[in-house]
Structure 1
C-alpha cells in the first residue's frame, strides 16, 4: 500500500496517463485486498481484460481456472472474469495423484521427474513447488531419488517464474490452506479472504507450468484439489 501511494504521488505530476499497470487478480497472494482508488490510483472505467494466454497450455489454464470464481471483484468494484480466455497451444492434461504416505509420494514424484528427463527436458526446465519451507525437505527427497537437480521453490518464491514442467507437492489436508495462517483469524470476512488467498496460491503454483503439471499429496489431500479433480479426475499412483 505504501508503494501504491508513492506511485500515485509520482503519477500526479505526469498527467492522466502517467501510470500503466498490468496484473491478475487471481495471483493476489501476498496481501489482503485493498482499495487502489482510496490510495489515489483509480482505474475504474479505464481497464481492459486480456483474453489470450501465450505461456500456459489450454489444458493447464482451464484446470487452474477452476480454482477461482468465474468472476473476481476487487475492493473498487472492478470485475475480472475468467470466461472467454483462450490459450494459443495445447498440451497433456494435468495429473492429480494422492498417495498413502509421504514416502510413496516421494517415490511417485521421483518417477515423474525421471520421465521428464527421458523426454529431453533439462533440470532448468523443471521445478517442484511446495506451500512453505516446512515441505522443502520432502521435495528435495524426490529430487535426490530421481537423480536430477531441478529447481525446488516455495509457491511464493515461484511467482513470476515459469517452467516447462512443474510438480506441486505436499498438497495435504493439513498443509493447504495453511492451518497456522487460519488459526489467528476471528473475523469471518478475514477468514474468507485468507481462504481465497490460499486458493490463489495454488492457482499461481499450477500456472507456473507451461506444458506439464503434476499435483500430489498425501490422502485425503487439500480441499482445493476437489475443484481440479471435478474436471480432470485422479490419476492412479
Structure 2
C-alpha cells in the first residue's frame, strides 16, 4: 500500500497546539506502520462527496481525514472534529480529465458565492470591472489544471475577485490564472497518458508525497 501525505495535511498540522501535534504525529506513524491495526479507529465520512474519505481518531477531539483505497492511504487534513468533517465534506480527490494530475478539488456547490466585500456603501454602483479570461478557451483553462466544475467561476472573474477565486483552486491552476491576469502566458504542460499514475504527475508531486519509511515521514513532519 502506498502511504502518502498531502500538503494540506502538513499545513493543517502546523496550526494545531504543540501537544496536539505530538499526538497527531504518533497516530501518523502508527498508520504508516500498520493501517490495518484494530486499534486504528476509522470512521467513514458518509456526508463527504468522496466515498473514500475516512476520519481517524487521534484524541477526544482531533481527527485526521484520510483518503483510503485498497492500494493507497493518503493523509489529507487534521483538525478538531467538526472542522475536520467540514473540510472533508467540501472536497474530493480526483484525476484532472485534461492534465491527468491528482488534485484535491473543492466541491463547487459547497462553496459560497465568491463576492467582493463591500466596505463602503455608495449611492451609485461602480461600473463593473472587465472579465479577465474571456479570450481563454475552456480547453486551455483545463490544460492549466482548472477543475471543470470551476470553469464558470473563472469565466466570471475580474480583478476584484480573482485572488479569492485562486484560493479555491489547485496550485497549478491558481498560478496560471494569476499569471494570465497580469499579462503573462503560462506554460501548458503535456497531458499525461491514460495509463499514467495521477500521483506521478509533476503537479501532483508538488502536493502529494510518498512516505516510503519512518525516516521520510519524520522528516516531512518536522518544522
Q: Tell me the TM-score range normalised by the shorter chain.
A: under 0.3
Which structure has more relative contact order (CA 8 Å, sep 6+)? It is: 1
* TM-score calculated relative to the size of structure 1: 0.27
